[in-house]
Structure 1
Amino acid sequence: MTEQSPVLSKVTRQACDYASVKVIDALIRRSGYGNRAIDRLCDGTITYGRIRDIRNGLKAPVRLPEFLLICEVCNAGPIQTLRDIITEARRMELEQQTATKKPTGERLVVDEQARVAETLNKLRRGDLDFAAHEDEHKYDGDEDDPT
């Protein structure tokens, strides 16, 4: 789960970066402080704009000194918060892996021709069968012959 940041092409984000955004945002919300209050409590060490960027996952991921200061201001243990981030990152990676796995024999089909070709291949292999076009037990409304 590595991806380029839309803001800075030099920053490559990983699952732990996304998890830290989620956990730190929840930590700040639980503390009851807003971005401005965190700015004031940090004596401007972490500015309002930087706190906003951290919480929204913009620009660079959170740095260790910022992480420790946010934990201190929010009265949260940095070790437990780091464990929460690691747990969330593992969950996100597992979710990403299971989302990209496809059942054996199935492929993602993008265009119409590829879909038709895949259906014909399944039919030839015997993985697919047509339903009956006629049903001897189905009547068309008149009493003489079934459809």
Structure 2
Amino acid sequence: MYQMKDERLKWQQLKNTRTAFTFQSIAILGLVIYRGAVDGAQAAFADPLWLVFVGTIVLLTYLNMRISVQVEQTETGKPPGPYWVKVVVALGVGLIGALIYLVATPDWTLFLVFLIGAVIFICFLVPFSLIHYWRLKEIHDEDE
């Protein structure tokens, strides 16, 4: 494969890839929405395209988090705050989510409401933990 040496061409290739990825994501989302409108929401969420779309968004978010940690670390240069604050914030968001589900759907059991709150807590704790770890790693690597 040909190795590009011109930075402008590399940048243009990245822009082209981003454009193709955006088009692909919009097309997949459009197909899922169409399927949901025609066959109902359950059919849309059971569609494998939905899993591809969600997996792609999760992967893109994970990759962008890594870049944003490096950019923020170079701009601010200050160390991350204590980890327990992040755990408390994630726990608070999980509790608020559980309370919203408790009020919005009173026919659900407390177990389901607790499960929803736990999932929200984990979904917030994992990115907070990864960012905290990466920031500490950046600081540790700069010290060496």
Interval containing the TM-score (normalised by the shorter chain): under 0.3
TM-score w.r.t. the length of structure 2 is: 0.25
TM-score w.r.t. the length of structure 1 is: 0.25
Q: Which entry has the higher C-alpha Rg, 1 or 2? A: 1
